[in-house]
């Protein structure tokens, strides 16, 4: 049974069409979602199949759980990055209203830190 399962038809064509030739092109969120979908579909197909040993079903379940944890971790990282970016923009905007001497000191340190 395991060798006959084909999930290719369930993968969106837009994902299949993309050829990744560098890490910059890799969309981790999309890849994690694709892997989760594959594992989840596979799990649904093998659950209840008495010819598959329970330990192998458990391994697929564990893989599914691990992928979900990575998705949560990726979402948290993205949220924190976006929040930090917004905070940085607000700090820079607030400093523009500060006295000239404070602006110069801040932007000097800011440039040192970002370059």
Per-residue pLDDT tens digits for 48-74: 888 989 899 899 899 989 988 988 898
Cα 59 from Cα 1, distance rounded (Å) = 17
The C-alpha angle with vertex 68 and arms to 67 and 73, in degrees rounded to 5, equals 95
Predicted pLDDT at 5: 43
Residue 44 lies in a domain: yes
Tokens of 3: 């060798």
What is the spatial distance between Cα 35 and Cα 11, in angstroms, rounded to a whole number? 10
Encoding tokens for residue 53?
Answer: 């040993």
CA torsion 13-5-74-112 (nearest 10°) is -60
Judge whether 73 lies within some domain: yes
Range of the domain at 46: 2-83
Whether 91 is covered by a domain: the verdict is no
pTM of the predicted model, to two decimals?
0.58
Number of domains in the chain: 1
């Amino acid at each position: 049974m395991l060798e006959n399962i084909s999930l290719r038809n369930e993968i969106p064509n837009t994902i299949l069409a993309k050829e990744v030739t560098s890490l910059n092109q890799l969309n981790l969120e999309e890849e994690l979602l694709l892997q989760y979908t594959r594992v989840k579909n596979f799990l649904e197909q093998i659950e209840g199949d008495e010819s598959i040993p329970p330990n192998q079903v458990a391994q697929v379940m564990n893989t599914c759980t691990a992928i979900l944890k990575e998705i949560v971790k990726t979402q948290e990282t993205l949220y924190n990055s976006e929040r930090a970016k917004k905070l940085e923009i607000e700090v820079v905007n607030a400093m523009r209203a500060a006295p000239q001497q404070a602006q110069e000191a801040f932007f000097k340190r800011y440039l040192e830190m970002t370059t």
